[in-house]
Amino acid sequence: MLDFFNSNETIHFIITVSTMLLFTIGLYGVFTQKNLVKVLISFDIMETALFLFFIGLHYDFGRVAPIVDGNLNTFTNMVDPVPQAMILTTIVIGLAILALGLSFGIEYFRLTGTNDISKMNELRD
């Protein structure tokens, strides 16, 4: 029973199904939420789901983190470092966009007293 859970196939299956569920939850939030803050939270959930998907599928059972320390002397049997570097970059970019969006929201709130994106209809035909 436990061996079943320790196989790569099972782990990757769990990761794929769960992250896609998480992604769907975020997508649902982006479509349905009206508060700007809630929309930004939904974006972040989507992004987190993608990060977990990418890092998770590059994890194979028995591999170790790509860092050499006292016990290891060569870069062998390690997980792929490039996805980790890419995700690190994307996390920081996500924070930058989130903070910028929030500052837009604060300024808009000060001008109009609302933060509802469905009420933003100043611009139209």
Partner 1 sequence: MIGLIILFTFASIIVVALYAVLSQDVTQAVILFMGVGLGSVVLFLIFQAPDVALTEAVIGTGLSTAVFLLGIRHTSIDKEVKS
Partner 2 sequence: MNLKKEFRLKHIVLSLLSSALMLSILGLLLHVKSGLHKSVGDIILTLNMETATANAVTSVVTFFRGIDTLGEVTVLFLATTGIALMLSTSQRTYEKVVHQESFILNIGSKLLLNVIILFGVYIIIHGHLSPGGGFQGGVVIATAFLLLFLANPNMHLNHFILTLGESLSGATFVLVGLIGLFKINILFGNFLPNPVSEIGELVSGGIIPIIYIIVGIKVGSEMSVIVEYFIKEDNKKEVSNA
Partner 3 sequence: MSLGYYFLLPVIFSFLTPFFKKMSSVSLRGSSVLLNLFLFLQTLQYTQMSMPQISQFSIAPPVGIAFVLDNFSLLFLLIFTFSGFIVSLYMMWYFKVSDSTHEARFYVFFSMLIAGSIGMILSCDIFNVYIFFEITGISSYALSAYNKDKMGLEAGIKYLIIGSVASIFIVFAIMLIYLQIGTVNIGLIAQRYSEIDPKIAVLIALMLFIGFGTKAELFPMNFWAPDIYQGSSSHVNGLFSSVVAKAYLFVLFHLFYLFGLNTQYTILLMSLGAITFLVSELTALNQKDIKRLFAYSTLGQLGILFMALASNSSQTISGALFHLTSHSISKLLIFLALGIIIHKLKDTKISIVGDFKSMFLTVILVIGFLSVLGIPPFSGFVGKILILKGFALAHNYMAIAFILIVSIIEAVYFFRLIAIMLDKSRTKVAVSIGFINYIVLGGLGLLIILLGVYPSILTHYTDLATNALLEPQSYLNYALGVGL
Residues near partner 2 (CB under 8 A) are: 12-13, 16-17, 20-21, 23-24, 27-28, 31-32, 57-58, 65-69, 74-76, 78, 80-85, 88-89, 92-93, 96-97, 99-100, 102-104, 106-107
Task: Give the count of alpha carbons within 13 A of 24, CB side only.
Answer: 6
User: CA-CA distance, 63 to 51, in Å (whole number)?
Assistant: 19
| Site residues, partner 1 (CB under 8 A) | 2, 4-7, 10-11, 14-15, 18-19, 21-22, 25-26, 28-29, 33-38, 40-42, 44-45, 48, 51-52, 55-56, 58-59, 61, 63-67, 78-79, 84, 87-88, 91-92, 95, 98-99, 102-103, 105-106, 109-110, 114-116
111 binds partner 3 (CB under 8 A): yes
Please say whether the beta carbons of 85 and 69 come within 8 A.
Answer: no
> How far, in Å, CA of 74 to CA of 59, rounded?
19
* Helix 36-57 × helix 81-112 angle, to 10°: 180
